Structure 1
Amino acid sequence: MTDSGKRAERPEDLSRFVVERLNAGDVEGLVALYEPGAVLALPDGGVATGSDEIRRAYAHLVADRPVFTPGRQQPTLRNGDLALTSVRLPDGGVTVEVARRQPDGTWLWAIDQPRIPE
């Protein structure tokens, strides 16, 4: 079970939340990790822009209930209200994301590249 109402107090929390929500099939909880105008890179090379497109992408991804394994969080690089996050995936790939601090102090992703093959 996931707590999709839980907000990221640190940029690094987003990576943990995404795996929890993917494994729970929690599409709305996944969308809640992104700014309304965020962009998400898709496996086919396309881009999902905004909440509606990100919602459709995740609904398709979790439809068959795949299981996701957490990777190893890499050191976060911060510059004011921006943070560059990255996770080394168990299969050797890597993720790269840009998170932005929100007015309430929590963090949301603005840009998400969920898989860069090595």
Structure 2
Amino acid sequence: MTTSEQPTTVGASAPEELEPRLAALVAAGDLDGIVGLYAADAVVSLPRGREAAGSTAIRSAFAAALAAGALGPVGAGSTVTARAVVSGDLAMTTSTTADGTVRTQVARRCAQGRWVWVRDGSRLRDVPACLPVDSGSLAVA
């Protein structure tokens, strides 16, 4: 897993580019890049009705998932389709993996024109490794 000293480009230039960008960042083990795909106030669903809210909790959840190798299929290019339905500065992004798993997220256009996810209800929901021992930074859904 890598982290960089310099800021990683935040988000993607279009909402449908978020999923392929995530796959590349997971393959590279770039935790900073992965976290940069999420807004600072984003919420990611975790197992057992928990949620990672905000960049620090999202970083911890993804760090644990990367360390456990739980994100391998994303990085291995298993995404069959990635699409977005855009309405103004919001978009619903959807991806379908080779095994038929469908993931949906909500993205928002930032002031800089880049797109970031603000709600991810499915990516880590079935990854027990992403639950920290100290769940103080997590909220119950």
Same fold (TM over 0.5): yes
2:13 is matched with 9
* Coordinate RMSD, CA, aligned: 2.4
Match of 1:29 among 25, 28, 33: 33
Structure 2, unmatched stretches of 5+, are 3-7, 127-141
Output the CA distance in 1 between the equivalents of 2:113 and 2:20: 18
Output the CA distance in 1 between the equivalents of 2:118 and 2:10: 18
Output the CA distance in 1 between the equivalents of 2:34 and 2:82: 21
- The offset of 1:95, in angstroms, is 0.6
- The offset of 1:64, in angstroms, is 3.2
- Residue 34 of structure 2 aligns with an amino acid whose one-letter code is L
C-alpha contact 1:15 1:87 (8 A) present in aligned 2: yes
1:107 is matched with 115
Query: Which one has the largest radius of gyration?
Result: 2
Structure 1, unmatched stretches of 5+, are none
C-alpha contact 1:12 1:73 (8 A) present in aligned 2: no
Match of 1:49 among 35, 38, 53: 53
Matched, 1:95 2:88: no
- The offset of 1:74, in angstroms, is 4.2
Higher helix share: 2
- Residue 54 of structure 1 aligns with an amino acid whose one-letter code is I
Aligned residues: 116
- Residue 31 of structure 1 aligns with an amino acid whose one-letter code is V
- Residue 66 of structure 2 aligns with an amino acid whose one-letter code is V
The 1:82/1:51 distance shift into structure 2, 3 A limit, reads same
Pick 1 or 2: higher relative contact order, CA cutoff 8 A, min separation 6. Answer: 2
